Structure 1
Amino acid sequence: MSDRRPSAHRRGPSRRTVAKAAALGVAGVLAGARVASAADVTVSRLGPRTYDLGVPSAALGRTAPVRIILPTSYADRPGRTWPVLYLLHGAHDDYTSWTRETDIEAFTANRDLIVAMPDGGPTAIPTRWRTGLDYETFQLQEVPAVLSAGYRASGVRAVAGVSTGGYGAMAHAARHPGMFVAAASYSGIPDTTATRMPTIIEAIVARENLNPLSLWGDPTSDSATWQDYNPMARANALRGTALYVSVGSGSLSTPVAFIVAIALLISGGVDAVLPGALESLVAPSTQSFVAELGRLGVPVTQHLYRGGGHQWSDWKREFVTSWPVLAAALGVPA
């Protein structure tokens, strides 16, 4: 998406509006939210409904970006609040990916909801890192507080993500039952301890020149921490949340996919990784997650399809397929 900014639109929320709302007590909007009482949220207008926010984050120790898309009738209906759909990006990408790779702006026109796309860091694993970075708090406390105070966001929320963002969607919903009415994962990692998954997760972290142990520690000696942040280990907590999960089988056998993907990730050639190879590699994570939901009797809408790749062409289709699940839970037109 182009970064060209159209002329100012007098009806949109201003920098003053958001900063004032934050200064008046954003910290109290959500219980326990770690938000500075005088946060100076910056606002850049990108289009009639689309804004980039700069949110000062105590959890991250920096100002972090969030892209939002407001409802078409936002300015005309000042007395109402709006449900929020959180869209999480994948590894080695950023918060702009959903507007860059999809038609989410046009898709959500006249659908009466706010879309929020928060920063998930270079790995897009939105968790509490051992280094002290806390993307979980940023995405689940600080961002919702700003949206509630400055943009009339309601407490009705759904979350969806691609790849490691799909991990985030299921982890957020499982670790915080009741916060989201729906969660969707497209080619995600909802079982972080599935066969070979710890190695691929460590490779994703290393690809960003970070110490793999800075995430959750060693998968063996710190297995309790790995399980604490593993959505599958908390699958029973997803009962009552509308769920959609999908993944393809990819194009290679798992051992071959593992060798190809790991070699390219470690060498820094992630962009050259065959989408089909990566999809073959992450598929077992979703498959085991679905099996566990079935064992527990937790309802889920699943689409485990043949072929496919770890790529936006598949994820765009899956988002549209999942929309009735998300829309029904959010109470917006399907």
Structure 2
Amino acid sequence: MRKPIRRLLTIFAALAVALPSALAVPATAAPAASVVSEKRVDSRTLDISVSSPAIGQNGNVRLLLPDGWDTRKPGQSWPVLLLLGGCCWSDGDGHESWVQKTDIENYAELRKVIVVTPIGGKAGYFSNWKQAGGPRWEDFHLDEVLPLVEKKYGGGKKRAIAGLSMGGFGALSYAGRRPGTFAAAASYSGTVDTQLFMLGPASVQAVLLGAGLDPNGLWGDPVKDSQTWAEHNPAALTDNLRKIPVYLSAGNGDAGPLDAPGTGFDVREKTIEGMSQLVATRLALSGGKVQTNFYGKGTHAWPYYGRELKNSLPLLLGALGV
């Protein structure tokens, strides 16, 4: 009788091992980002809408197309310039702002690259939010949008990044957080030191409050969660940023030649100038390739951003080999 019992025990043991795996529910793959619509605005402008798990909604992206794009051959690609907007827009949702507010469509240099201008949230700060269930803007831009541009629209592996104001922060933060992703970065009047004394955290949290958002939802409390703040702060990422060419510009807050008559002093731009100068100095002292244009009179305004983008193109496109 012992042998049959032993056989039964052996069978039960085998079943005990096999049943859990046999009964287990197959893992469901996480949904992938996908393009859900396209709209050709004009001969050089294509708007796409991306279904994004990272931000939990459809995110709009504008592509400014290079010469020859419509007759491209299979596998043909162009370098990519990821161009980020600022915060708190009141018309549209931000992805159109660079084309609406400047004349970048007329920049001959940009006919050799694909310019990608995505939505970034009114005060998204180009980050994966610490708040539970918050948007993951970094994942949207770098892990969803860029791969889709490469897969479907001829984007290449050579990339540069630039932005204005909050987007200037985003450009340097992304380049510092993701070494090797971008060959060059530029900030135009960007909030590039979010931990500068009390000014940095106060300026960030004031923007969040103004947008009706939890001021601690982004990176947490500035003191208790200072490490999380530092992990996104360009001024704390200079060890990585010094490895690529960086362009920094800002005005001093006084009304300048591109401001409307009667424009008053802009304390925000003055603060940003100080931040940018500190980061530029830190980069220079660490051996970084930094180019600056602290142009004196000028406020936090679109005419300066467009001009500074054009001024920075030799640095950005030179790094792309264009």
Question: For the superposition of Structure 1 and Structure 2, which TM-score range results when normalised by the shorter chain?
Answer: 0.7 to 0.9
Q: Which moved more, 1:68-77 or 1:142-151?
A: 68-77
Query: Structure 2: how far apart are the matches of 1:109 and 1:231?
Result: 27
Contact between 1:88 and 1:117, CA under 8 Å: does it hold in 2?
yes
Q: Please list the CA deviations of residues 185-225 of structure 1 after superposition, one character each: whole Å capped at 9, or x if unmatched.
A: 00001111113111011001111100101111111111111
SS where residue 190 of structure 2 aligns?
Answer: coil
Query: Structure 1: how far apart are the matches of 2:211 and 2:228?
Result: 22
CA shift in 2, pair 1:184/1:40, >3 Å: closer
Query: Structure 1: how far apart are the matches of 2:185 and 2:30?
Result: 25
SS where residue 227 of structure 2 aligns?
Answer: helix
Q: Please list the CA deviations of residues 231-260 of structure 1 after superposition, one character each: whole Å capped at 9, or x if unmatched.
A: 1111011133121111111139xxxxxxxx
Query: Structure 2: how far apart are the matches of 1:173 and 1:87?
Result: 13
Give the deviation of 1:104 after TM superposition. Answer: 1.4
Q: Which moved more, 1:123-132 or 1:167-176?
A: 123-132
Query: Structure 1: how far apart are the matches of 2:290 and 2:235?
Result: 13
Q: Please list the CA deviations of residues 106-165 of structure 1 after superposition, one character each: whole Å capped at 9, or x if unmatched.
A: 214773210100111001511111232110011111001110111121101111000010
The number of residue pairs the alignment matches comes to 280
1:125 is aligned to 2:164:
no
1:225 is aligned to 2:221:
no
Give the deviation of 1:304 after TM superposition. Answer: 1.5
Show structure 1 runs of 5+ residues with no match. 1-33, 253-272
Query: Structure 2: how far apart are the matches of 1:313 and 1:35?
Result: 43
Q: 2:48 aligns with which of 49, 53, 56?
A: 53
SS where residue 79 of structure 2 aligns?
Answer: strand
Contact between 2:32 and 2:53, CA under 8 Å: does it hold in 1?
no
Name the counterpart of 1:85: 81
Pairing of 1:259-298 with structure 2 (within 5 A)? 276-298=266-288
SS where residue 213 of structure 1 aligns?
Answer: coil
TM-score normalized with structure 1 length: 0.79
Pairing of 1:1-334 with structure 2 (within 5 A)? 36-37=31-32, 39-79=34-74, 80-93=76-89, 94-108=94-108, 111-131=111-131, 132-195=134-197, 196-251=199-254, 276-332=266-322
Q: Which moved more, 1:153-162 or 1:192-201?
A: 192-201
Query: Structure 1: how far apart are the matches of 2:66 and 2:103?
Result: 15
* Identical-residue share of aligned pairs (%): 38
Q: Please list the CA deviations of residues 251-299 of structure 1 after superposition, one character each: whole Å capped at 9, or x if unmatched.
A: 39xxxxxxxxxxxxxxxxxxxx957222012222112111211221212
Give the deviation of 1:40 after TM superposition. Answer: 4.2
Give the greater-gyration-radius structure (CA).
2
Contact between 2:242 and 2:283, CA under 8 Å: does it hold in 1?
no
Query: Structure 2: how far apart are the matches of 1:110 and 1:322?
Result: 12
CA shift in 2, pair 1:38/1:177, >3 Å: closer
CA shift in 2, pair 1:139/1:37, >3 Å: closer
Q: Please list the CA deviations of residues 74-126 of structure 1 after superposition, one character each: whole Å capped at 9, or x if unmatched.
A: 12232421111111000112111100011112214773210100111001511
Query: Structure 2: how far apart are the matches of 1:37 and 1:320?
Result: 35
Runs of 4 or more above 4 Å deviation: none
Query: Structure 1: how far apart are the matches of 2:168 and 2:318?
Result: 20
Name the counterpart of 2:21: none
CA shift in 2, pair 1:136/1:190, >3 Å: same
Contact between 2:104 and 2:306, CA under 8 Å: does it hold in 1?
no
Query: Structure 1: how far apart are the matches of 2:64 and 2:182?
Result: 19
Give the deviation of 1:36 after TM superposition. Answer: 3.5
Contact between 2:253 and 2:267, CA under 8 Å: does it hold in 1?
yes
Query: Structure 2: how far apart are the matches of 1:282 and 1:184?
Result: 14
Contact between 1:89 and 1:162, CA under 8 Å: does it hold in 2?
yes
Give the deviation of 1:66 after TM superposition. Answer: 0.5
